[in-house]
Amino acid sequence: MFVRNLLRENDLHRMRLLADLIDVTMFLVDRIFMKKLAAAWLCLFSASVWAETTPKNIIFVISDGMGPAYTTGYRYFADDPATKEVEETVFDRLYVGSASTYPAPVSGYVTDSAAAATALSSGVKSYNGAIGVDADKQPVQTLLEKAKAAGYKTGVAVTSQINHATPAAFLTHNESRRNYNAIADSIFDQRVNGQFTADVMLGGGWLYFQRKDRDIVQQFKDAGYTYVDKIDQLPSVKQGSPLLGLFAEIGLPWALDYPQKRRLLPLAEAAVHQLENDKGFVLMIEASQVDWAGHANDVAAAMVEMADLSDTLEWLEAYVDSHPDTLLVVTADHSTGGLTLARDGEYIWSPEFIHTLDQSPKTIADELGKIDDAKKRAASAEKLLKVELTKDEKESLEAITAKDDKAFYAWVKHYIDLKTHTGWTTDGHTAVDVPVLAKGVAASKFAGNQDNTDLAKKLGSFIQ
């Protein structure tokens, strides 16, 4: 009506006012439309950026005890002496930075596996021995618990028992890592919104999960989990099934004692295969026995454990290439043993001798301990080690008269150390920073030096 009246009066001034009114109206309409359009584009762009910078799947690999000397040592162990160059390893390709490992102040600068795993699983520093609890012994949310609450599938695959320090600190909570039975109980008893923390659990631990007082394996089976106790059964498990696999009484045998010298790779492959789904998954894999080899000062076992890990990482590297929505992060909880690649002032490290071994030093030592006759024992050592012992070496072995596994194991390890020119500073942990490797979505966020708690915080920020 207002516009019609203006037109009838034929008033030039009012016509100009009308034109101005129309211009203002169109300007406001245009601004409102453009704001809405811009907001819509911003939402679409933000969603696109989030999808491109946020992983659907997270695979967190922890090589227990793997300090820098281990990745360097493996490079030389894996080197082809027939070539002029020292070949690059998967550890070299994926390396992006390092992480500090110190625990809560009450425990000083040198961490144990429990405190380190709690830091890596929750982003919270705690005391040595703590399993998923803070310095006041209060439970802290772990990466797997957060993922499970958000609807992801979750799992662990390790070569230790699954209630050992590292997997336990991702699965549950306890004031002491030594409470193995209680930790095993809580892996079944504890729930996240009525669900088990992990859909897939692979490792060792019959001793703790099939006890006289409680058969936790049977309880998981009754709850719908598929149970297997042999690694070669894994490929036959129906995809997507909740899965419990226990393959040893405690930890798995040394990789050197497997015919194919590998067992972490099939565990990792099976876990990934079982966890794949539309929402995504979070998987923690632990090369547990790099640490055990370091504690034992056993360089032969250590290098073959590293080889097992290397094969696993190469498979995971290819998996990320074919699944670009996946993030792979690799680190260690600490370094073990103070491994040195040379000793006694000589500029030599010779890992090639390790390639000749068909069994672990511990298994060789056990075989020697079964032989009463000292002369026959020396002959057996030559056969098992594929060497010709010197007169002094034979006499040192023959001098061991007691049925003492530790004594024979110490002799075999010392022989290999001298043969390879390997040194050790401790049978415990050290406080050095550890490597960080990454590949896939948001891998660049893990570059540079950081604290171990930062790894957990960054990984946790991707879970929505």
Quickly count: other Cβ atoms within 10 Å of residue 13's Cβ: 9
**428: region left, alpha or beta (phi > 0 left; psi from -120 to 50 alpha):** beta
**Any residues with CB less than 8 A from the CB of 296 and at least 6 apart, and which?**
362, 409, 413, 427
d(CA 96, CA 271): 25
Q: Indicate which residue of 98, 113, 121, 122 is catalytic.
A: 113
d(CA 5, CA 22): 15
Told to judge if 288 belongs to the known catalytic residues of this protein, a careful annotator would answer no
d(CA 16, CA 22): 10
**337: region left, alpha or beta (phi > 0 left; psi from -120 to 50 alpha):** left
d(CA 187, CA 174): 11
- CA angle, 39 as apex, 33 and 43 as ends, to 5°? 145
d(CA 246, CA 202): 6
Helices 391-398 and 405-420: angle between axes, nearest 10 degrees: 160
The residue with tokens 């504690």 is 295
Tokens for 213, please give them.
Answer: 């007082």
- Torsion (CA) 458, 460, 462, 464 in degrees, nearest 10: -160
Active site members: 113
